[in-house]
Amino acid sequence: MQKKQATQTRRALVASLIGSSIEYYDYLLFGTMASLVFSKLFFPTLDSFAGLLLAYASFGIPYFFRPLGGVIFSHIGDKLGRKKTLVLTLALMGLSTVLIGCLPDYEMIGFWAPCLLVLLRLIQGIGIGGEWGGALLLAVEYSPESKRGFGGSIPMMGSAVGMLLGTVTVSIMTLLPEQQFLSWGWRVPFLLSIVLVFVGLWIRRGLGETPDFQKLKDSGSVSKFPLGETLCYHRKEVLLTIGVKLVESAPFYIFATFVLSYATGQLHMERGAVLNAVTLGTLSSAFVIPVTGMLADKIGRKRIFIMGTSGMMLFAFPYFQLLSYQSVYTLTLATVLGMGLWGVITAVMGTLVSDMFGARVRYTGISVGYQVGAALAGGMAPLIATTLIHSFNGSWVPVGLFIIVIGAISLVSALFVPNSVPPVFSTNERI
């Protein structure tokens, strides 16, 4: 029995890892191409700065649809089960990503090209809005209580794995001559997403419901209206989730997406060198995340989060100072350190916020809070950073201050996160 349970737990962890890897592969792939390709192929009638802003807007605006996806799919997840939701979200994400790789550009169909690009991006956002919460709960609710810090870090590691896959495939494609890369090479990474989707669906179909949800189902305690219950009794927890999400989201997209256009355009560095630096930074976070998850099981998720957030605030100015030397070595060092600090934060954030909600509304609570936080600080971060750099004549100081302010909000939010974990059946969950 114990052996079977351990096997199911391992399979759940792999399934959650694959799902979150696809999420970040899709989103980071779009962010990278927004920097390198989309401004040229889908917004060619504008000057370079305006085209880049619109490309980043197409990257960021769908983040405001992620809460909608979170509401829709978390309702299904808290009412009908985590498994059903995760099959739907994975299929939706994968299909929209593949279709982006098939899109004709502006030269072929004119105005419809950017419209279809944004539409598919919106569909991605809705799917991902429900994917993260389900992938996290798959790992957390299958893990023993004493190992939930490590379990919750596995889907968060998917961000590093997905980004690594994205940067590697893009790096390979950028070896092509510029004309071939813009013609067809950029499409290949989007089309390859279908392989990850098939693997993920195959693994998830073999899983049963998570133990926590099965207990609710067996006892007849499943919530009838999860969103209403969440908003009635867990408003504070949702607000705290939004707050702690900010520092996990904004720096990530600055280190991984904004740096591509900033280093190549503002600092005149080679595109390949920047992509390699991001790849090495991603590798560093992939090692940091599971180690931090295990450490959190020993000294506490909240303590780790506060330490990581404080470190991020202190590193904001040194990061840009290292970039300003316009050296491949200092760029790589800055990216590795920045992504490592981000890895400390993201490793514990998912479990930290899931601890605040009972199982009846856990999917809804974490999804709504997480996705609203992502909309406020994540997808718009490259756009905000680009605008600040342009408005202040190339100075990076405002962007550093932006990271510090975001970190301060998350730090204050974390101080109000309770240390105790609610039971599966919480006394204030009455609907």
What pLDDT, on the 0 to 100 scale, is given for residue 336? 94
Q: Which amino acid is at 329?
A: Y
What pLDDT, on the 0 to 100 scale, is given for residue 293? 93
Q: Is the pLDDT of residue 80 over 90?
A: no
Q: Using CB atoms within 10 A of its CB, is residue 368 exposed (0-12), middle (13-18) or buried (19+)?
A: buried
Instruction: Dig out the tokens for 98 from the structure.
Output: 């593949």
> Are the C-beta atoms of residues 237 and 356 closer than 8 Å to each other?
yes
What pLDDT, on the 0 to 100 scale, is given for residue 319? 95
The larger pLDDT score, comparing residue 408 to residue 386, is at 408
Please name the helix (run of DSSP H) or strand (run of DSSP E) that holds residue 125, with its range, or none: helix 112-142
pLDDT band for position 24 (cuts 50, 70, 90): confident
pTM of the predicted structure, to 2 decimals: 0.82
Q: Where are the domains of the chain?
A: 2-415
Instruction: Dig out the tokens for 75 from the structure.
Output: 């309702």
> Are the C-beta atoms of residues 145 and 278 closer than 8 Å to each other?
no
What pLDDT, on the 0 to 100 scale, is given for residue 167? 72
CATH of domain 2-415: 1.20.1250.20
Q: Is the pLDDT of residue 143 over 70?
A: yes
Average pLDDT over residues 122-149: 84
Tell me the pLDDT tens digit for each residue of 315-338: 999 999 999 999 999 999 999 999
Average pLDDT over residues 77-105: 84
C-alpha neighbours within 13 Å on the C-beta side of residue 137: 33
Cα 243 to Cα 373: distance, rounded to the nearest angstrom: 7
Cα 93 to Cα 102: distance, rounded to the nearest angstrom: 15
Q: Is the pLDDT of residue 244 over 90?
A: yes
Tell me the backbone φ, ψ of residue 23, rounded to 5 degrees.
-55, -50
The larger pLDDT score, comparing residue 342 to residue 112, is at 342
What pLDDT, on the 0 to 100 scale, is given for residue 427? 41
DSSP code, position 146: G
Q: For residue 55, which of 5, 127, 105, 128 has the smallest C-alpha distance?
A: 105
The larger pLDDT score, comparing residue 316 to residue 137, is at 316
Cα 55 to Cα 34: distance, rounded to the nearest angstrom: 5
Q: Is the pLDDT of residue 83 over 80?
A: no
Tell me the backbone φ, ψ of residue 138, rounded to 5 degrees.
-60, -45
> Are the C-beta atoms of residues 296 and 153 closer than 8 Å to each other?
yes
What pLDDT, on the 0 to 100 scale, is given for residue 161? 85
Q: Is the pLDDT of residue 82 over 90?
A: no
